[in-house]
Structure 1
Amino acid sequence: MDSVELFFTAVGACVILHCGLKVLTVLKVLFPKVWYPVPSGYFTSMGEWAVVTGASDGIGRAYAIELSKHGMNVAIISRSQEKLNKTAVEIGETTGKRVKVIVADFTKDDVYENIAQNLQDLNIGILVNNVGMLPSPTPCRLLDTDSLEQRINMVINCNVKAMMKMCTIVLPIMERRKGIILNVSSGLAQIPCPTFSLYTASKVCVNRFSQALQAEYKQKGITIQAVAPFGVSTLLSGYQSPNMFTFTTDQFVRTSLTYVRSGDKTNGSIRHTILGWILDTIPFQLFYSSKLQDRFTEFVKLRVQHMNL
C-alpha cells in the first residue's frame, strides 16, 4: 500500500469513527435510562436533604417538589417568605417530607452566614443552584439597561456569586460522603446572544464553573452538572405557553433528572438537545444583525405588554 492510499484509508477510518461517535451521542440522548440509569433510591442514597435556591417559584419550586417525591427532605431558599411557605405546605401535604424554609435575597452580599448556620446540621445530599435573574424584563442593549451599575451587581450576585458561595457551603458536607450539585444554566449560553449579554455571560460562567468543579471533585463521589434548558414556562420566559420546545417546569425537572448521570453538562431533554444541535449549525454572524435584534426586542416588548393587560 503506497503512502497516498494509506493516507486516504486513514482519513476514511477517522470519518467513520467520527460518524460512529456522533451516532452513539444521539443514542445516549435518546435513551438516557439505558445509558445513564438512575436506580431506585439513588437520590436519597446521597443524603437526607436537598437544598434548592430560588425555590419559591418556577424551576426551583419544581425541583423541590420533585426531589421530595423521591423521598428527600428539602431546604428551600428564596426571598419571598410567603411563596416559600406555600411551597412548604404543598410539599408537606403531598409527600409528608420535612421542609426547612430559609429567606434570603441573593442579590445581596450578606446572606451567606445565615444560610450556612441553617444548613450546618443537615445531612445534605443534593444542592440545586437555581436562583437567577434577568437584568431587564425585556431584552435590550447593554447601555440601554435601566440602573445599569446596580443591575450588573445584582446579576453577578444572583446568577454567579450565589452559585459559587452555595457550593463552598455544601461541598465540605458532601466531601465526607458523596452528593449531587445541579447548577441551572441556560441553553442561550451556547450562542452569542445580543440584547441578553449580561444574562448569557453569567450563564456561560455557570457552565464553565460546573465543568471545572466536576473535574476537581469527581473522584470524591460528587456529581456536579450544569443543566442548560431552552424553553421552560417561567417568569423569566414570560410564562410562555408550553409547546414542542417549551416545557412546563414540572415536565422539565422530571426529564432533566433522568440525565443526572450523563456528564458535566446537559440540556435536560432530547428536544432541547436537538434544539442546541440546530443552533450550533447557524452562523454566529446571524445573531449579530441589528435588524434581528430590534425585531426580537419589539416582539418581546409586545408580548410583555399583552401579558400585563
Structure 2
Amino acid sequence: MFLECDCWKYLGLCFCAYLALRVLCPLWSLVNIYFLGSYPNFKKYGSWSVVTGATDGIGLAFAKKLAKFGQNIVLISRSKDKLNAVAEEIQNKFNVKTLVIAADFADPDIYEAIFAELRDLDIGVLINNVGISFEYPEYFLDIPDLPGAIDKMIAVNIRSTVKMTEYVLPGMVSRKSGVILNLSSGAAVKPTPLLSLYSASKQFVDCFSKTLNAEYAKQGVIIQSIVPFYVTTKLSKIRRSSMLVPNPETFVSSTLKTIGKAKRSYGYFAHAIEGTMFSMIPESLYMMASKRLNNSIRIRALKKKNQKKE
C-alpha cells in the first residue's frame, strides 16, 4: 500500500515537472531571444548591407539602423526620387556610402541589372524586406485582376527573396560569414483565409529561410526568418503604435538583436507572445476565427469602396 502511494507521489511529481518544463522552457527561450541578445558586429560580415523595399517602413528603418553601425547601404526600391532622398539623408547623418538601385520587383527582368550593380561589393548583410499584400482581405476568386495579382504577388514576395539570396549567398559561403534576414509575416504562422495568396507566399519565405539556415549555418552564414505581426507601416494601415504594434524603428532595433539566436524570430517580444499563442491553437479553430475576422474587415472595406464610387 505504501509502495502504491509512493508510486502515485512520484508520478505526480513527474507530471508537475513535465508541466513546469513545458512552461519554463518556452519562457526561457523567449527571454533569451528577445531580452538577452545584443547587436552583432556587422562589419565582421562585410562592409555593405543590401535592403530591398528600402524607402518606407521596416525597410527604411533597417537601412538607417545598419548605417548607424557603420554599414554602407544599398537601397533597392521602385522610386528613384525616394531612393535619392533616403540615400542623401543616410550619407549626411551617418557618414557612410550608399548605392541606389531603382527596380520594380514585380518585373522578372530586373535581376541582371541589379546584380551588375552589386558585383564588386563586399556584401555582409541582406535584408529581403520588399513585399506586397492586397488592399483588403478577399476570397481568392474575387481578388481584383486575379491573374495579374497572382503573378505580382509571387514575383514580389517569393521570387525577390529567392533571387537576391541566390546572388549573395555564394560570396557569404566562400567567406564563411554573412547574414540574410527574410521578412515573412504573422499571416504565415498558420494558413489565413481571405489572405490565401499572401499567407501562402509568406509561408514559403518562412520555410525557405529555415531550410537554408539548416543547410548553411555550419558554413558561417545566418539565414533567419523574421515573422512580424502588425507594425505601423503603410502595409498594415495602422498609424498609432502601441505595446502590440511597434513602430518600424522599435521593431528593427529588437529584430537585429535576435540575429543568430533562432532560425525563426518574431522580431519583437510582444509578437513572439502572439505567435506562440497562435501556434498552440488548433489549425481548424484558428482558420475559423481568422476567416470571420477577415470577412468583417472585407465587408467594411467594400462598403467604404462603394461609398467612394457613389
- TM norm structure 1: 0.89
For 1:300 and 1:242, the matched residues in 2 are separated by 22
C-alpha distance in structure 2 between counterparts of 1:188 and 1:10, whole Å = 40
Task: Note the C-alpha offset of 1:191.
Answer: 2.1
- Following superposition, the deviation at residue 299 of structure 1 comes to 4.0
| CA RMSD between the two structures | 2.7
- CA shift, 1:262, in A, is 1.3
Any unmatched runs of 5+ in structure 2?
none
Match of 1:165 among 163, 166, 171: 163
CA distance in 1, matches of 2:211, 2:254: 24
Aligned partners of 1:129 and 1:184 also within 8 Å: yes
What SS class does the counterpart of residue 169 from structure 2 fall into?
helix
Look up the SS of the partner of 2:253 in the other structure.
Answer: helix
Q: How does 1:118-197 map to 2 (within 5 A)?
A: 118-134=117-133, 136-177=134-175, 178-197=177-196
| Corresponding position of 1:213 | 212
In structure 2, the residue corresponding to 1:29 is in which secondary structure?
A: helix
Change (3 A) 1:36 1:250: closer
Cα-to-partner distance string for 1:42-80 (whole Å, 9 max, x where unaligned)? 111111000001111111111011100011001011111
Q: Which runs of 5+ in 1 are unaligned?
A: none
> How far apart, CA to CA, are the structure 1 residues paired with 2:183 and 2:47?
21
CA change 1:16–1:75 in 2 (3 A) is same
- C-alpha contact 1:50 1:126 (8 A) present in aligned 2: yes
Distance 2:119 2:19 in 1: 48
Secondary structure of the residue aligned to 1:108 is coil
Is 1:30 the equivalent of 2:31?
A: yes
Give the conservation status (yes or no) of the 8 Å contact 1:38–1:261.
no
Percentage of matched positions with identical amino acids: 35
Partners of 2:278 and 2:286 within 8 A in 1: no
* Matching residue's letter, 2:153: V
- For 1:257 and 1:270, the matched residues in 2 are separated by 13
Distance apart, 1:24 and its partner CA: 3.1
1:142 maps to amino acid:
F
The answer on 1:75 being equivalent to 2:101 is no
Q: What is the Cα deviation at residue 126 of structure 1?
A: 0.2
Distance 1:147 1:239, change over 3 A: same
Please tell me whether the aligned partners of residues 188 and 230 of structure 1 are also in contact (alpha carbons under 8 angstroms).
Answer: yes
Q: Does 1:248 align with 2:247?
A: yes
Q: How does 1:223-262 map to 2 (within 5 A)?
A: 223-262=222-261
TM-score between both structures, scaled by the size of structure 2: 0.89
Matched residues in 2 for 1:142 and 1:33: separation? 36
Structure 2: distance between partners of 1:58 and 1:302: 28
Q: Say if 1:302 and 1:224 are closer, same or farther in 2 by CA, change over 3 A.
A: farther
Deviation at 1:8, TM superposition (A): 9.0
Would you say 1:296 and 2:303 are equivalent positions? no
> Partner letter of residue 253 of structure 2?
R
Task: Give a deviation string over 1:81-109, Cα, whole Å, max 9, x none.
Answer: 11111110110111011000011111111
Q: Judge conservation of contact 2:194–2:295 (CA < 8 Å) in 1.
A: no
Q: Is the 8 A contact 2:184 2:228 kept in 1?
A: yes
> Matched residue of 2:270: which SS?
helix
Q: How many angstroms apart in 1 are the aligned matches of 2:280 and 2:305?
A: 30
Aligned match of 1:113: 112
* 1:46–1:179 CA contact under 8 A, matched in 2: yes
Q: Comparing 120-129 with 28-37, which one deviates more in the overlay?
A: 28-37
Evaluate the alpha carbon distance shift between residue 118 and residue 241 of structure 1 in structure 2; reply closer, same or farther with a 3 A threshold: same
* Range moving further from structure 2, 68-77 or 22-31: 22-31
Secondary structure of 1:26 counterpart: helix
Q: Distance in 1 between matches of 2:280 and 2:22?
A: 18
Q: Does the residue aligned with 1:137 lie in a helix, a strand or coil? A: coil
Question: Following the alignment from structure 1 to structure 2, what is the Cα–Cα distance between the partners of residues 291 and 126?
Answer: 40
